Amino acid sequence: MTRTGAPAVLPWGRHYLAVRPDHFRVDYVINPFMDPADQPDPARALAQWQRMVATLEGLGARVEVLDQRPDAPDMVYAMNLGLGVLRPDGSAHAVLSHMRFPERRMETATARDWFARSRSTAYVGRDGVGAHFEAGDAFPFGDALVVGYGPRTDELGLKQLAVELGVRVRGFRITHPGMYHMDLAFNPLDGRRAMVCPDAFDEESAAALLALVPEPLVLSEAEALTFCANSVVVGRTVVMPACPDRVRAVLEGWGFEIVLVDVSEFHKGGGSIRCLTNPLDIVVGRDLPALPGGSVVLP
């Protein structure tokens, strides 16, 4: 417990994969933020990315860097390459993303080779066939993986994800076009707390997600669209692209420190700090009990 009586810190968030933005640009439109007429500045984007990495490393996190494919401008959003998990017995696994849009599917081949060097790999769907799953929709919280579905991840993919990892999966339907991934509307902070934007979900899912989090920091639509939930937590420090005043007051009242890092060039592609970083130290099987064949709970 901290001096404020806060729950234990997240048991993950100190080891990340990131993709150096050497070929980041906006070549197409697959979310409401993208406009090929509004291109990111390459030098500014690289400087912002380097500051983000330096900030994480300065907080004690380890960041591994993967080179970006020239034909994959969105590959810089490393969160969506795949969901890597560790078991208490030391074994490592990854469920690779099956991207909704073909413009991003070539990223999976590079991610597969990288993940396969250190862990076993599996798929929910592949090469445009089968259910889609994008790792930016999945987070551990409580006794389950919390997974958003709708715009990018298919509901049918949740069962396959549960089976591959042998864990409980709780699914929540996303309906907001601007919060098309779970990581734009949900962010675990510690064992009891998470940022949640109910406006991202249908009514039933929003109510179920709020009921799941003992102490939610409820975000308005306007607050969430600053990308404030698309942040990472290292211990008791939240590394954020923006922090509305009310959100800051709640976080600081809970004993968190806030570090702001400008990654606005990457907002032009529809992602922020969480999208740019993929946690590699998520443990399933301890906080998330292993289940025979996995199970799925929907609202």
Confirm whether 243 is a catalytic residue.
no
Confirm whether 275 is a catalytic residue.
yes
Active-site choice (181, 197, 243, 267): 181
Alpha-carbon torsion, ordered 27, 28, 34, 40, to 10 deg: 0
Q: How far apart are CA 256 and CA 213, in angstroms?
A: 18
Active-site choice (197, 228, 243, 275): 275
Q: How far apart are CA 68 and CA 184, in angstroms?
A: 23
The length of the chain in residues reads 299
**How, if at all, do strands 237-240 and 232-234 pair?**
antiparallel
Residues involved in catalysis? 181, 275
